Amino acid sequence: MTWLEWAGAGGASVPVLLLLFYALRRAKGIVEMYLKAHLEARAERERRATMVAMAASLPEGGAAARFEAGQPAWLFCKHAEPGHQVIVSREAA
């Protein structure tokens, strides 16, 4: 049996190489979607860590805000009073 017969070129069936091509394209798309979602989540974690570090560096308490499209998205507050959490974050609605 030759490789052309294995590929389906000699019969009435759908060529295996053509199916393999479309399966590889689909797999590539899935990997790209996963990679994009992973990189976006990693970038968001990095942004939040930066904001927490910025709020922690405020000497006497205060707040640091993150803006998206001109609107506040996150607010990180550092309380100087005893009994409060050191850093509090909340999503601005």
* 39 confidence band (pLDDT: 50, 70, 90): very high
Tokens 């049996």 — which residue? 1
Structural contact between residues 58 and 64, judged by C-beta atoms closer than 8 angstroms: yes
Give CA–CA dist 87/65, Å, rounded. 13
**Stronger pLDDT, 8 or 63, i.e. the higher one:** 63
If one compares 57 and 30, the residue with the highest pLDDT of the two is 30
Nearest to 89 by CA among 47, 43, 30, 34: 47
Q: Among all chains, which residue has been given the structure tokens 């970038």? A: 43
What region, left, alpha or beta, does residue 87 occupy, with left being phi > 0 and alpha being psi -120 to 50 degrees? beta
pTM here is: 0.56
- pLDDT beyond 70 at 16: yes
